[in-house]
Amino acid sequence: METEIKEIEIIFFAEIKEINSLQDLEKLRIKYLGRKGILDGLFSQLSHIESSQRPLLGKMLNELKEKILKEIKEKENLWAGDKELAGIDLSLPGLYFVIGKKHILTQTIEEVLAIFEKLGFTILEGPEIETEYYNFTSLNIPQEHPATEAFHTFYLEGEISSGERRPRSAPGKGRYLLRSQTSTVQVRVMENYLPPLRIISPGRVYRPDAVDASHSFMFHQIEGFAVDENIKFSDLKGTIFVFAQRFFGKEIKMRFRPHYFPFTEPSVEVDISCIICQRNQKPETSNQKCGVCKGKGWLEILGAGMIHPRVFHFAGYPKHKYTGFAFGMGVERMAMLKYGIEDIRLFFENDLRFLRQF
Ligand code: DAH
Protein backbone atom coordinates (compact mmCIF):
# COMPACT_ATOMS: atom_id res chain seq x y z
CA MET A 1 0.00 0.00 0.00
CA GLU A 2 2.92 2.28 0.68
CA THR A 3 4.04 2.26 -2.95
CA GLU A 4 0.47 2.74 -4.04
CA ILE A 5 0.22 5.96 -2.00
CA LYS A 6 3.45 7.24 -3.50
CA GLU A 7 2.27 6.48 -7.01
CA ILE A 8 -1.02 8.21 -6.45
CA GLU A 9 0.80 11.31 -5.37
CA ILE A 10 2.86 11.30 -8.57
CA ILE A 11 -0.18 10.75 -10.72
CA PHE A 12 -2.12 13.52 -8.98
CA PHE A 13 0.63 16.07 -9.58
CA ALA A 14 0.88 15.03 -13.20
CA GLU A 15 -2.85 15.36 -13.63
CA ILE A 16 -3.25 18.73 -11.98
CA LYS A 17 -0.58 20.15 -14.28
CA GLU A 18 -2.83 19.47 -17.24
CA ILE A 19 -5.87 21.14 -15.72
CA ASN A 20 -6.77 24.56 -17.00
CA SER A 21 -10.31 25.31 -15.98
CA LEU A 22 -12.12 25.61 -12.69
CA GLN A 23 -14.61 22.92 -13.75
CA ASP A 24 -11.87 20.40 -14.44
CA LEU A 25 -10.24 21.32 -11.18
CA GLU A 26 -13.45 20.57 -9.35
CA LYS A 27 -13.70 17.21 -11.14
CA LEU A 28 -10.17 16.43 -10.07
CA ARG A 29 -10.98 17.37 -6.49
CA ILE A 30 -13.96 14.99 -6.46
CA LYS A 31 -11.89 12.26 -8.06
CA TYR A 32 -9.32 12.38 -5.29
CA LEU A 33 -11.05 13.83 -2.26
CA GLY A 34 -14.73 13.23 -2.84
CA ARG A 35 -16.80 10.58 -1.11
CA LYS A 36 -15.91 7.34 -2.82
CA GLY A 37 -12.89 9.13 -4.19
CA ILE A 38 -9.41 7.67 -4.46
CA LEU A 39 -8.30 8.69 -1.01
CA ASP A 40 -11.52 7.58 0.58
CA GLY A 41 -10.96 4.19 -0.95
CA LEU A 42 -7.50 3.97 0.49
CA PHE A 43 -8.70 5.06 3.93
CA SER A 44 -11.28 2.29 3.98
CA GLN A 45 -8.62 -0.25 3.03
CA LEU A 46 -6.74 0.71 6.18
CA SER A 47 -9.02 -1.42 8.35
CA HIS A 48 -7.91 -4.55 6.49
CA ILE A 49 -4.27 -3.80 7.05
CA GLU A 50 -2.19 -5.34 9.76
CA SER A 51 -2.53 -3.16 12.84
CA SER A 52 1.21 -2.55 13.28
CA GLN A 53 1.38 -0.84 9.87
CA ARG A 54 -1.79 1.16 10.26
CA PRO A 55 -0.40 4.23 12.01
CA LEU A 56 2.34 4.75 9.43
CA LEU A 57 0.07 4.31 6.45
CA GLY A 58 -2.62 6.43 8.07
CA LYS A 59 -0.10 9.21 8.51
CA MET A 60 1.05 8.93 4.90
CA LEU A 61 -2.52 9.11 3.67
CA ASN A 62 -3.31 12.14 5.76
CA GLU A 63 -0.23 13.91 4.47
CA LEU A 64 -1.16 13.15 0.91
CA LYS A 65 -4.65 14.47 1.51
CA GLU A 66 -3.20 17.74 2.87
CA LYS A 67 -0.90 18.09 -0.13
CA ILE A 68 -3.70 17.54 -2.60
CA LEU A 69 -5.99 19.98 -0.80
CA LYS A 70 -3.28 22.64 -0.71
CA GLU A 71 -2.43 22.25 -4.36
CA ILE A 72 -6.06 22.50 -5.44
CA LYS A 73 -6.64 25.58 -3.23
CA GLU A 74 -3.60 27.33 -4.66
CA LYS A 75 -4.74 26.80 -8.21
CA GLU A 76 -8.23 27.92 -7.31
CA ASN A 77 -6.94 31.15 -5.73
CA LEU A 78 -4.82 31.87 -8.75
CA TRP A 79 -7.78 31.62 -11.05
CA ALA A 80 -10.06 33.46 -8.67
CA GLY A 81 -7.65 36.41 -9.02
CA ASP A 82 -8.00 36.26 -12.78
CA LYS A 83 -11.76 36.23 -12.42
CA GLU A 84 -11.61 39.48 -10.42
CA LEU A 85 -9.28 41.05 -12.96
CA ALA A 86 -11.80 40.28 -15.64
CA GLY A 87 -14.02 43.05 -14.28
CA ILE A 88 -11.30 45.70 -14.28
CA ASP A 89 -10.56 48.16 -17.04
CA LEU A 90 -6.80 47.93 -17.35
CA SER A 91 -6.64 50.99 -19.58
CA LEU A 92 -7.73 53.30 -16.72
CA PRO A 93 -4.96 55.52 -15.32
CA GLY A 94 -3.35 54.09 -12.21
CA LEU A 95 -3.45 55.49 -8.69
CA TYR A 96 -1.34 58.62 -8.24
CA PHE A 97 1.25 58.43 -5.50
CA VAL A 98 2.98 61.61 -4.44
CA ILE A 99 6.68 61.03 -4.02
CA GLY A 100 8.10 63.52 -1.56
CA LYS A 101 11.44 65.21 -1.92
CA LYS A 102 13.67 67.60 -0.11
CA HIS A 103 12.81 71.31 0.02
CA ILE A 104 14.95 73.44 -2.24
CA LEU A 105 16.53 75.12 0.80
CA THR A 106 17.51 71.74 2.24
CA GLN A 107 18.94 70.75 -1.12
CA THR A 108 20.90 74.00 -1.28
CA ILE A 109 22.27 73.60 2.25
CA GLU A 110 23.32 70.03 1.52
CA GLU A 111 25.02 71.05 -1.69
CA VAL A 112 27.01 73.82 0.01
CA LEU A 113 27.97 71.58 2.93
CA ALA A 114 29.10 68.80 0.59
CA ILE A 115 31.45 71.18 -1.20
CA PHE A 116 33.01 72.35 2.06
CA GLU A 117 33.24 68.84 3.47
CA LYS A 118 35.33 67.89 0.46
CA LEU A 119 37.59 70.82 1.33
CA GLY A 120 38.11 69.36 4.79
CA PHE A 121 35.50 71.33 6.74
CA THR A 122 33.52 69.75 9.57
CA ILE A 123 29.82 70.45 10.11
CA LEU A 124 28.88 71.81 13.55
CA GLU A 125 25.66 73.52 14.52
CA GLY A 126 24.91 76.11 17.18
CA PRO A 127 21.67 76.90 19.03
CA GLU A 128 18.98 79.19 17.61
CA ILE A 129 18.17 80.54 21.07
CA GLU A 130 21.31 82.43 21.90
CA THR A 131 22.68 84.83 24.45
CA GLU A 132 23.59 88.44 23.80
CA TYR A 133 27.12 87.41 24.51
CA TYR A 134 27.53 85.06 21.56
CA ASN A 135 25.37 87.07 19.17
CA PHE A 136 27.10 90.40 19.87
CA THR A 137 29.85 90.69 22.48
CA SER A 138 31.97 87.71 21.45
CA LEU A 139 31.82 88.94 17.86
CA ASN A 140 33.21 92.32 18.83
CA ILE A 141 29.87 94.08 18.45
CA PRO A 142 29.54 96.42 21.43
CA GLN A 143 25.94 96.49 22.57
CA GLU A 144 25.42 100.22 22.14
CA HIS A 145 27.39 100.46 18.90
CA PRO A 146 25.53 101.38 15.69
CA ALA A 147 26.90 98.15 14.16
CA THR A 148 24.39 96.29 16.36
CA GLU A 149 21.68 97.75 14.14
CA ALA A 150 22.50 95.40 11.26
CA PHE A 151 22.07 92.42 13.56
CA HIS A 152 18.88 93.42 15.40
CA THR A 153 16.90 90.46 16.54
CA PHE A 154 14.03 89.13 18.65
CA TYR A 155 14.52 89.00 22.39
CA LEU A 156 13.03 86.44 24.71
CA GLU A 157 11.44 87.50 27.96
CA GLY A 158 13.46 87.26 31.12
CA GLU A 159 17.12 87.43 31.96
CA ILE A 160 19.64 84.62 31.97
CA SER A 161 19.37 83.22 35.47
CA SER A 162 22.40 83.35 37.69
CA GLY A 163 22.62 79.56 37.73
CA GLU A 164 23.27 79.55 34.00
CA ARG A 165 26.78 78.70 32.84
CA ARG A 166 28.09 82.04 31.65
CA PRO A 167 31.22 82.49 29.53
CA ARG A 168 34.10 84.02 31.42
CA SER A 169 34.12 87.33 29.58
CA ALA A 170 30.41 88.04 29.65
CA PRO A 171 29.94 90.72 32.23
CA GLY A 172 26.65 91.30 34.04
CA LYS A 173 23.41 89.67 33.17
CA GLY A 174 22.32 89.13 29.62
CA ARG A 175 19.16 88.35 27.77
CA TYR A 176 18.22 85.41 25.59
CA LEU A 177 17.50 86.12 21.96
CA LEU A 178 16.96 84.39 18.64
CA ARG A 179 20.32 84.57 16.94
CA SER A 180 20.49 86.99 14.02
CA GLN A 181 23.57 85.40 12.46
CA THR A 182 25.28 82.02 12.42
CA SER A 183 28.60 83.73 13.23
CA THR A 184 27.61 82.93 16.84
CA VAL A 185 29.15 79.50 16.37
CA GLN A 186 32.64 80.95 16.04
CA VAL A 187 33.39 81.56 19.71
CA ARG A 188 31.18 78.67 20.80
CA VAL A 189 33.39 76.30 18.79
CA MET A 190 36.68 77.99 19.71
CA GLU A 191 35.84 77.75 23.42
CA ASN A 192 35.70 73.99 23.05
CA TYR A 193 38.31 73.18 20.43
CA LEU A 194 41.83 74.28 19.65
CA PRO A 195 43.07 74.93 16.11
CA PRO A 196 43.47 73.67 13.47
CA LEU A 197 39.77 74.30 12.86
CA ARG A 198 37.79 74.15 9.67
CA ILE A 199 34.12 74.49 10.49
CA ILE A 200 30.99 74.90 8.40
CA SER A 201 27.75 75.65 10.22
CA PRO A 202 24.27 75.92 8.71
CA GLY A 203 21.15 77.11 10.50
CA ARG A 204 18.20 79.45 10.90
CA VAL A 205 18.60 83.07 11.86
CA TYR A 206 16.01 85.70 12.78
CA ARG A 207 15.66 89.42 12.21
CA PRO A 208 12.68 91.69 12.88
CA ASP A 209 12.42 92.72 9.22
CA ALA A 210 9.09 93.41 7.52
CA VAL A 211 8.46 90.61 5.03
CA ASP A 212 8.83 91.54 1.36
CA ALA A 213 10.34 90.05 -1.80
CA SER A 214 13.85 90.15 -0.37
CA HIS A 215 13.28 90.10 3.43
CA SER A 216 12.01 87.51 5.84
CA PHE A 217 11.94 87.49 9.65
CA MET A 218 13.53 84.05 9.47
CA PHE A 219 16.04 82.82 6.95
CA HIS A 220 19.03 80.49 6.71
CA GLN A 221 22.73 81.16 6.79
CA ILE A 222 25.86 79.09 6.47
CA GLU A 223 28.87 80.24 8.42
CA GLY A 224 32.33 78.94 7.72
CA PHE A 225 35.69 79.56 9.30
CA ALA A 226 39.20 78.22 9.44
CA VAL A 227 41.71 78.88 12.21
CA ASP A 228 45.31 77.79 12.43
CA GLU A 229 48.81 79.20 12.65
CA ASN A 230 49.54 81.04 9.46
CA ILE A 231 46.18 81.17 7.74
CA LYS A 232 46.33 83.92 5.15
CA PHE A 233 43.95 86.06 3.18
CA SER A 234 44.93 84.08 0.10
CA ASP A 235 43.54 80.95 1.81
CA LEU A 236 40.21 82.71 2.14
CA LYS A 237 40.30 83.75 -1.48
CA GLY A 238 41.20 80.31 -2.75
CA THR A 239 38.58 78.57 -0.62
CA ILE A 240 35.77 80.91 -1.63
CA PHE A 241 36.73 80.75 -5.29
CA VAL A 242 36.73 76.96 -5.35
CA PHE A 243 33.37 76.96 -3.58
CA ALA A 244 31.83 79.53 -5.95
CA GLN A 245 33.02 77.65 -9.02
CA ARG A 246 31.66 74.35 -7.76
CA PHE A 247 28.34 75.85 -6.73
CA PHE A 248 27.68 78.29 -9.57
CA GLY A 249 29.78 76.91 -12.41
CA LYS A 250 33.35 76.98 -13.67
CA GLU A 251 32.82 80.03 -15.88
CA ILE A 252 32.17 82.53 -13.08
CA LYS A 253 34.53 85.32 -12.18
CA MET A 254 34.92 86.58 -8.64
CA ARG A 255 35.79 89.90 -7.05
CA PHE A 256 36.35 91.09 -3.49
CA ARG A 257 35.14 94.53 -2.34
CA PRO A 258 36.35 96.11 0.91
CA HIS A 259 33.61 96.17 3.54
CA TYR A 260 33.12 96.44 7.29
CA PHE A 261 32.19 93.70 9.71
CA PRO A 262 33.02 94.07 13.41
CA PHE A 263 34.29 90.50 13.72
CA THR A 264 36.70 90.50 10.78
CA GLU A 265 39.59 92.73 9.81
CA PRO A 266 40.06 93.27 6.95
CA SER A 267 36.50 92.53 5.80
CA VAL A 268 35.17 92.02 2.32
CA GLU A 269 32.04 91.39 0.38
CA VAL A 270 32.41 88.80 -2.34
CA ASP A 271 30.76 89.12 -5.74
CA ILE A 272 30.56 86.71 -8.63
CA SER A 273 29.93 87.63 -12.24
CA CYS A 274 26.19 87.48 -12.99
CA ILE A 275 25.32 83.94 -14.00
CA ILE A 276 22.02 85.02 -15.52
CA CYS A 277 23.76 87.43 -17.90
CA GLN A 278 26.20 84.67 -18.71
CA ARG A 279 23.41 82.17 -19.37
CA ASN A 280 21.73 84.66 -21.70
CA GLN A 281 25.05 85.20 -23.46
CA LYS A 282 24.86 88.92 -22.82
CA PRO A 283 27.93 90.97 -22.05
CA GLU A 284 27.90 92.18 -18.46
CA THR A 285 27.74 95.74 -19.68
CA SER A 286 24.77 95.16 -21.98
CA ASN A 287 22.27 98.01 -22.16
CA GLN A 288 19.32 95.71 -21.68
CA LYS A 289 19.14 95.46 -17.92
CA CYS A 290 19.28 92.00 -16.39
CA GLY A 291 16.59 91.54 -13.72
CA VAL A 292 18.88 89.69 -11.33
CA CYS A 293 22.04 91.82 -11.30
CA LYS A 294 20.15 94.97 -12.35
CA GLY A 295 22.62 95.48 -15.14
CA LYS A 296 25.60 95.63 -12.79
CA GLY A 297 27.06 92.36 -14.02
CA TRP A 298 27.98 91.30 -10.46
CA LEU A 299 26.12 89.48 -7.72
CA GLU A 300 27.01 89.69 -4.04
CA ILE A 301 27.24 86.17 -2.62
CA LEU A 302 28.70 86.53 0.85
CA GLY A 303 30.55 88.48 3.52
CA ALA A 304 33.97 87.41 4.71
CA GLY A 305 37.25 88.48 6.23
CA MET A 306 40.16 87.63 8.49
CA ILE A 307 38.96 86.86 12.01
CA HIS A 308 39.41 89.86 14.29
CA PRO A 309 41.93 89.42 17.14
CA ARG A 310 39.17 90.45 19.57
CA VAL A 311 37.21 87.34 18.59
CA PHE A 312 40.23 85.17 19.45
CA HIS A 313 40.48 87.06 22.71
CA PHE A 314 36.87 86.20 23.58
CA ALA A 315 37.57 82.59 22.60
CA GLY A 316 40.39 82.53 25.15
CA TYR A 317 43.07 81.82 22.53
CA PRO A 318 46.61 83.05 23.22
CA LYS A 319 47.49 86.41 21.69
CA HIS A 320 49.03 86.48 18.21
CA LYS A 321 49.29 82.72 17.97
CA TYR A 322 46.52 82.04 15.48
CA THR A 323 45.02 83.62 12.41
CA GLY A 324 41.92 82.61 10.54
CA PHE A 325 39.30 83.52 8.01
CA ALA A 326 35.52 83.50 8.26
CA PHE A 327 32.64 83.90 5.89
CA GLY A 328 28.86 83.89 6.03
CA MET A 329 26.31 83.39 3.28
CA GLY A 330 22.53 83.45 3.05
CA VAL A 331 21.06 80.16 1.86
CA GLU A 332 17.94 81.73 0.32
CA ARG A 333 20.15 84.18 -1.49
CA MET A 334 22.34 81.40 -2.90
CA ALA A 335 19.28 79.52 -4.18
CA MET A 336 17.74 82.72 -5.60
CA LEU A 337 20.89 83.54 -7.51
CA LYS A 338 21.46 80.02 -8.74
CA TYR A 339 17.92 79.41 -9.97
CA GLY A 340 16.83 82.98 -10.75
CA ILE A 341 14.13 83.04 -8.03
CA GLU A 342 12.88 86.58 -7.50
CA ASP A 343 10.86 86.42 -4.29
CA ILE A 344 12.11 85.03 -0.97
CA ARG A 345 8.52 84.40 0.18
CA LEU A 346 8.22 81.54 -2.32
CA PHE A 347 10.48 79.42 -0.10
CA PHE A 348 8.08 79.59 2.82
CA GLU A 349 4.61 79.58 1.27
CA ASN A 350 4.57 75.84 0.69
CA ASP A 351 3.13 76.20 -2.79
CA LEU A 352 3.84 72.82 -4.38
CA ARG A 353 3.76 74.29 -7.87
CA PHE A 354 6.91 76.18 -6.91
CA LEU A 355 8.56 73.50 -4.78
CA ARG A 356 8.09 70.67 -7.28
CA GLN A 357 10.31 72.43 -9.77
CA PHE A 358 13.45 71.55 -7.86
N1 DAH B 1 27.27 87.33 9.96
C2 DAH B 1 27.25 88.17 8.79
C3 DAH B 1 25.82 88.60 8.49
O4 DAH B 1 24.92 88.01 9.01
C5 DAH B 1 27.85 87.47 7.62
C6 DAH B 1 29.34 87.38 7.75
C7 DAH B 1 30.15 88.32 7.26
C8 DAH B 1 29.89 86.29 8.38
C9 DAH B 1 31.51 88.27 7.37
C10 DAH B 1 31.27 86.19 8.50
C11 DAH B 1 32.07 87.21 8.00
O12 DAH B 1 31.87 85.18 9.10
O13 DAH B 1 33.41 87.12 8.11
O14 DAH B 1 25.63 89.50 7.73
Q: Give the pLDDT confidence of 116-149 residue by residue, as tens digits.
A: 999 999 999 999 999 989 999 999 998 777 777 7
Which of 261, 301, 310 for a ligand 1 pocket mutation test, highest count of atoms within 8 Å of Cβ? 261
Question: Would strands 122-123 and 197-206 be described as parallel, antiparallel, or unpaired?
Answer: parallel
Atom of ligand 1 nearest to the CA of 329: 5
Atom of ligand 1 nearest to the CA of 183: 1
Q: Tell me if the domain spanning 104-355 has CATH number 3.30.930.10.
A: yes
Task: Report how far residue 141's alpha carbon sits from residue 185's, in angstroms, rounded to the nearest whole number.
Answer: 15
CA angle, 243 then 247 then 250, to 5° = 85
At residue 172, the pLDDT reads 47
Q: Give the pLDDT confidence of 25-56 residue by residue, as tens digits.
A: 999 999 999 999 999 998 998 888 888 988 99
At residue 294, the pLDDT reads 82
Q: Give the pLDDT confidence of 148-163 residue by residue, as tens digits.
A: 777 888 998 877 765 5
Three-state DSSP at 138 gives helix
Sequence-separated (6 or more) residues with CB below 8 Å from residue 237: 256
Which of 134, 136, 149, 181 for a ligand 1 pocket mutation test, highest count of atoms within 8 Å of Cβ? 181
CA-nearest residue for atom 7, ligand 1, is 303
Residues of the chain with pLDDT under 50: 167-169, 171-172
At residue 168, the pLDDT reads 42
Domain map (residue ranges) of the chain: 2-85, 104-355
Which of 327, 333, 334 for a ligand 1 pocket mutation test, highest count of atoms within 8 Å of Cβ? 327
At residue 87, the pLDDT reads 74
At residue 175, the pLDDT reads 84
CA-nearest residue for atom 5, ligand 1, is 328
At residue 75, the pLDDT reads 87
Task: Report how far residue 346's alpha carbon sits from residue 212's, in angstroms, rounded to the nearest whole number.
Answer: 11
At residue 165, the pLDDT reads 52
Three-state DSSP at 59 gives helix
